[in-house]
Amino acid sequence: MTAAARSPHPRRARPERGEQWAETSRCRVVAARRFGAFTALELLAPEIAAVAWPGQFVMVKVPGSGFLLRRPFSVFTARGDRLGLLIEARGPGSERLADAQVGEALDLAGPLGAGFPLEGVRTALLVGGGIGCAPLQMLTDALAGRGVPVMAAFGFRDGRQARVAAAFDIERLWVATEDGSVGRPGMVSDLLAALDAPPSATVFCCGPAAMIAAVQRWAAGAGLRGYASLEAHMACGVGACHGCVVATKRGALRVCSEGPVFALDEVVIP
């Protein structure tokens, strides 16, 4: 299934959960900030920013020779005519994007995928691990616009990775690090037991599979419903290659098109 192409328009209202839009845009970098292991890029991207929905992603073409496939990145922010991406340098492609300079133009396709459902959310608990924290800022912005109280718990490997917490504008944010150098020592799941999440809270999480599984168990025990945004390697981003299939209670589904957001209790993690 390919994403439906749509005519971009900067004033178009965002539909619930977002719609897939496979057209590409040349977007100029207007700001780049470093946070330890991460780079926050801000791009002039009015067409994408106008229609992006929390939890969606874009496929970014890596400048230069030798990079055949686009890289998927969650939308970090969409404010006015600017789109934010959060990049962790993990390999040559992401390293090149993390080094993008102000004034440089990047080729983006999107927004793609199904985002977070927001209807009926009364209180939100956001749980992120590492680069999985990226989509949770745009989610926070959208929930705040609806008057929904937000609390967040982020987990990182170490203090250098945890520096990215400074890139987020979330008033009630708790941090855990595995090496104990910042915040609470341990995993982000250790933070959850200490938080006083109300029974009306909806859980939104994104991060490694082991973290998602831990949040599943905790949410089930607490009687909370929620949603998980899954991480996956992608080749096309529009569901054509079936390279990002994951197991769910509904069967094998594609992260890029049926996801990346799924109901928390339907994700099957080995």
Domain ranges in the chain are 24-112, 123-266
Mean pLDDT across the chain: 89
Distance CA 216, CA 222 (A): 10
Q: What pLDDT was estimated at residue 194?
A: 85
Q: Does domain 123-266 have CATH number 3.40.50.80?
A: yes
> What is the H or E stretch that residue 5 is in?
none
- Res 208 pLDDT > 80: yes
pLDDT of residue 20: 55
Say yes or no to pLDDT of 8 above 50.
Answer: no
* Residue 266 per-residue DSSP state: G
Which is higher by pLDDT, 232 or 19? 232
pLDDT of residue 68: 84
The span from the CA of 111 to the CA of 97, in Å, is 18
* Domains 24-112 and 123-266 are alike in CATH topology: no
Burial of 184 (0-12, 13-18, 19+ CB in 10 A): middle
Token pair listed for 129: 């691990």
Q: What is the pLDDT of residue 240?
A: 83
Q: Are 243 and 253 in contact (CB under 8 A)?
A: no
pTM: 0.90
Q: Which residues pair with 226 in a beta bridge?
A: 203
Sequence-distant (≥ 6) Cβ neighbours of residue 217 within 8 angstroms: none
Q: What is the mean pLDDT of residues 112-121?
A: 95
Instruction: Give domain 24-112's CATH superfamily.
Output: Translation factors (2.40.30.10)
Q: Is residue 231 a contact partner of residue 208, using CB atoms and an 8 Å limit?
A: yes
